[in-house]
Each structure stands twice: as C-alpha cells, then as structure tokens.
Amino acid sequence: MTGRALFDPGLQPERTELAWRRTALAIGVGSLLSLRVLPAVVGDPVWAAAWLIPGIAGLAFAVLLWFRAQLRHRRVTAALLDGRPEDLPGSGLMLMLTLFVVGCGVLSAVVVLWWT
C-alpha cells in the first residue's frame, strides 16, 4: 500500500480499550454491590460468608479484565503501527468474558431454583 494508512492511529484501539474498561468497571461495581447486599439478604453468617466468594471472584475478574484490556491495547497498537496485522490478538479476551458471564448466569439460576 502506497501512501495510505491501514487505520487511524490511536483512535480505534483506544475506543476499544475504553469499552473494555467500562465493562471491567461494571463487573467490579456489580461485585461490590453483591458483597454489600448478599450477606444481608442471606442472614445466616455461615451462608453469608459463602456468598462473599462470588463477589470476591467478580472483583478479581474485573481487575484481570482491566489489565488484559491494557495489554491488548498495546499489542493492537504495536501491530497496526508496525504494519503486521498477523500479530493482532485473537478473541481470548471475549472468550474469557463470555465464560465468566455464562458462569454467573448458571450460578444465579442454581441459586434461584434452590432458594425457591
């Protein structure tokens, strides 16, 4: 390609990273809310402690997602600036998020079915 850039440097990868950051932030806030609300709803101290596990796991996942999004942003920017589209990252981050959301959905369904 002569004289044409493959992308607008910085804008598209940065918008994508910001979207991943918002996703991580939403998961983190939801996890903090679950840490605050679920123990009060459950009432029993033994079960309340068990309900802290999903909230803590969600917070850990949000932090992991945040850092993986930053790493992905750096890799995408470097690959596009160097003109090496074969070095673009795959869909691992999306798969990780999908598995987390499906796991949360299954856990929620089990809790609702068991609790009622």
pLDDT in tens, 17-44: 899 999 999 999 999 998 888 777 777 7
Task: Tell which residue, 79, 112, 73, has the closest CA to residue 93.
Answer: 73
pTM score: 0.79
Whole-number average pLDDT of the chain: 83
Confirm if 39 and 51 have CB atoms less than 8 A apart.
yes
